Amino acid sequence: MSLQRLVITAAIEQQIVDHARACKPHEMCGLLVGSPDSDVALEFHPCRNAAASAIVYTLDPKDYMRVEQSADDRGLAVLGVVHSHTQTEAYPSATDVAQAPDPNWNYAIVSLKYDPPRLRNYRIVSGEITETTIERA
């Protein structure tokens, strides 16, 4: 699968921004869920940043398992992860790249450096970062 876009609704984007603002000064994280092999996110699931840090995020393993099981039970799949950068651009850091677990995932980042916050999406394959478009449904 080599999808070059992410499709989200305005409501999902607002949920992402709201969660990022609520978690500040720490980075927030969450998961995007949709149909398997799709580029359309149907749901955003806020997760706990187990690192409780302003510069890194770690998806809480229990949150991840809960979201993945719920998606699987409904014939859906985790399409990617979203996190925030509280003071910097919405571009993957070296840590983000090193922690990218799945080449098929979307890696969306919302930057709170700007008002309104800026959301960008990437694919990370073998350490190579490729920005994809975000289409609003």
- Is residue 2 scored above 60 in pLDDT? no
- Is residue 108 scored above 60 in pLDDT? yes
**The dihedral formed by the CA atoms of 18, 101, 57 and 15, expressed in degrees to the nearest 10:** 0
pLDDT digits (tens, 9 = 90+) for 42-90: 999 999 999 999 999 999 999 999 999 999 999 999 999 999 999 999 9
**Which domains, ranges and CATH numbers included, belong to the chain?**
5-136 (3.40.140.10)
pTM to 2 decimal places:
0.95
Q: What is the pairing mode between strands 43-47 and 5-8? A: unpaired
Angstrom distance (rounded) from CA 52 to CA 42: 27
Confidence at 38, pLDDT banded by 50, 70, 90: very high
The rounded mean pLDDT for the chain is: 95
Confidence at 1, pLDDT banded by 50, 70, 90: very low
